[in-house]
Every structure is written in C-alpha cells, then in structure tokens.
Amino acid sequence: MTDEFTTTVYYDDDADSSYIDDKTVAVLGYGSQGHAHAQNLAESGVDVVVGLREDSSSRAAAQDDGLDVATPREAAARADIVSMLVPDTVQPAVYADIEPALEPGDTLQFAHGFNVHYNQIRPPEDVDVTMVAPKSPGHLVRRNYEQNQGTPGLLAVYQNATGEASQEALAYAKAIGCTRAGVVETTFREETETDLFGEQAVLCGGIASLIKQGYETLVDAGYSPEMAYFECMNEMKLIVDLMYEGGLAAMWDSVSDTAEFGGLTRGDRVVDDHARENMEAVLEEVQDGTFAREWIVENQANRPNYEQLRQAEADHDIEAVGEELRQLFAWADGETEDESTDDERTRQRADD
C-alpha cells in the first residue's frame, strides 16, 4: 500500500471535445446506461443514433426522447463510435451482427470490460477499443447531467489503432458529464476483475449474505422478525450513506461510542481471516476465468441455477417481512413519478 495517489484522474479541462464533435455515435441499447449516454451525448451536441432491434420495446421511448433510431447494424454502419451498452450476456451476439459494419479507424466502446477481457468479443486490429464506464446507475448519470453535476467514471484503452483512442474516449466522457466529477484511468483487466470481485465478495454477495445471516441469527434466537429486519437490513442504508459521504472515519464519528466500541471489537470476529481466505479464492476465480466460464455456460443452458437461486432469494422470510414493514412508513409513498420511471430503467435486466 502506498502513501502516494498515483492513479491519473481527468477533468473537464483535460478533455478536448473536438475529438468527438464531428463524429457520429451509435449507442446500442436503451436501458439504464443506454438512455443516459444517448440523451447526454445529444444534449452535448454530438450526433447520436440509437441501435435497437426492430421489435424492441425501447424504440418508442428513444423516439419519444427525440432520438434517431435504427437497427444495431444500421446504426453501427453510420457511426464512427459504437458504444456497446447492451447487457454483457447479449453483447457477443450483438457484436456478431454489427462487426461487418465496422470500418478501419472506427471505435468500439464499452462500459464494462467483461467480454473483451474474457475473449467473448475479439475486435479487429484496425479499430480503437475503449471503455468509458460511469460508476453509477444510468438514471443518476442522466439526473446529474441535467443538474449540471457530474458522475465519476473510468476510462481505459484496450486497443489504440488510430493513436487518438484516449483523447476520443475522454471527449466522450466529457459529453456524458463524467469529467465534471472526475474520470479515473484504468485498464480493461483491472476494471473487469475488480468490478466482479467487488460485486461478488462485498457489494452484492457479501453484504446480502451478511444481512441474511444476521437476520436469521436474531430470529432463531427468539427475537421478532420486525426487529431483526430493522437492525440488520433497514439501518444498513444509514451506515453506508455515512461511509459514502466520509469514509469509515465519518461513520465511526457519527455512531455512538457504544456502537463504535462494539463494532471495533466484534466486527473482525464475524468477518475474520476465514472470510479473507474465501475472498482470495473468489478473486482467484475471477482472475483465472473460472467465474466467467461458469456464467457463460449458465447462460448457454438457459440459466437453470441462476433462476433457482433468484427464486430462493425472493422466498426468504426477510423479503416478506420487509415488504410489510415498508408499507407502514411515510417514505414508502414519497417516490416521485420521475424517480419511479428512472428506477424501472435501472432494473431492466435485458435491453436490446
């Protein structure tokens, strides 16, 4: 661990919009990220065409938003930059469709490196391959842009055929609002492996498992499910918000001394060296491609294990208890119409 911050971070003044001003961008997909990129680019003065299947349910939404819509191959043929914003699982098929439309000097751009890093997509050598990855759901990328704010992002260059891949990607990042907040330079390998590890070991897998285990421990000990839900699920947001705003130090400063002492003396007994060993094993499976192969085969088999696991999660008692409790409180009815629409887009699991 170094005391020096060596990662390069780019801001608005580092980006030259001329690298994208006279180019056409094809945004493939109109889900969480797709709708945000397309609208932000268009409002930044960039020529945008959205690529969607002819039977796509998103076509009407994109057209209602004032955007030009074509099939993915038609959009790619018209574009200088093709931004692949469909889900990872369908990207190889979409790429196979649009690959004949790519011309030397074009750019193939991603928001996640999975398919390139694990060789599910093999771009031709005469095109640039880049990544611009906002680090938030698309509805926040859009909302922050509309409020003249920015969303932090990542930038990576996998293939630099033209010699201008980095400058063009940075101009793209500026056009969607990321350089307002800061864009961190990385690589396809680093982004992919850290992203998968973070999701599996901490953000989605680790935290969800910790919440359920805590809930079950209290309920099995005879405490009410409602109290268990509040202490292990509901208050999680309060703690994470403190961490987000000021790191662990801000969290410790904000909780009671009793909570701080209890957390500092007991936390490592729960998430101990065995958890660290398990995390290292999870990371190794990401690094050597074990997880990628498992996920690819799962999709080829029509997701039998995935669907079974999802159903088991939905059937957990904590879900029923939480649904009932959330209906009791005023904030349950406080969602605005716009926020509901954004959340629907965020939840889209498969976009054209």
What is the structure's pLDDT at 333?
63
Predicted TM-score (pTM) of the model is 0.89
Do residues 89 and 109 make contact, with C-beta atoms less than 8 angstroms apart?
A: no
Query: What confidence score (pLDDT) does residue 338 get?
Result: 45
Q: How far is Cα 54 from Cα 59, in angstroms, rounded to an integer?
A: 8
Residue 224 reports pLDDT greater than 70: yes
When pLDDT is cut at 50, 70 and 90, the band that residue 329 belongs to is confident
Name the active-site residue from 112, 139, 274, 316: 112
Selected residue with higher pLDDT from 331 and 88: 88
pLDDT at 238 over 80: yes
pLDDT, the chain, mean? 93
Is residue 131 within 8 A of residue 155, CB to CB? The reply is yes
Is residue 112 among the annotated active site residues? yes
First-to-last C-alpha distance (Å) of the chain: 42
pLDDT in tens, 10-69: 999 999 999 999 999 999 999 999 999 999 999 999 999 999 999 999 999 999 999 999
pLDDT (tens digit, 9 = 90+) per residue, 82-133?
999 999 999 999 999 999 999 999 999 999 999 999 999 999 999 999 999 9
DSSP string of 254-285, one letter each residue: HS-HHHHHHHHHHHHHHS-HHHHHHHHHHHHH
Over residues 156-208, the pLDDT tens digits come to 999 999 999 999 999 999 999 999 999 999 999 999 999 999 999 999 999 99
In contact, 190 and 222? CB cutoff 8 Å = no
Find the Cα–Cα–Cα–Cα dihedral 279, 280, 281, 287, rounded to 10°: 110
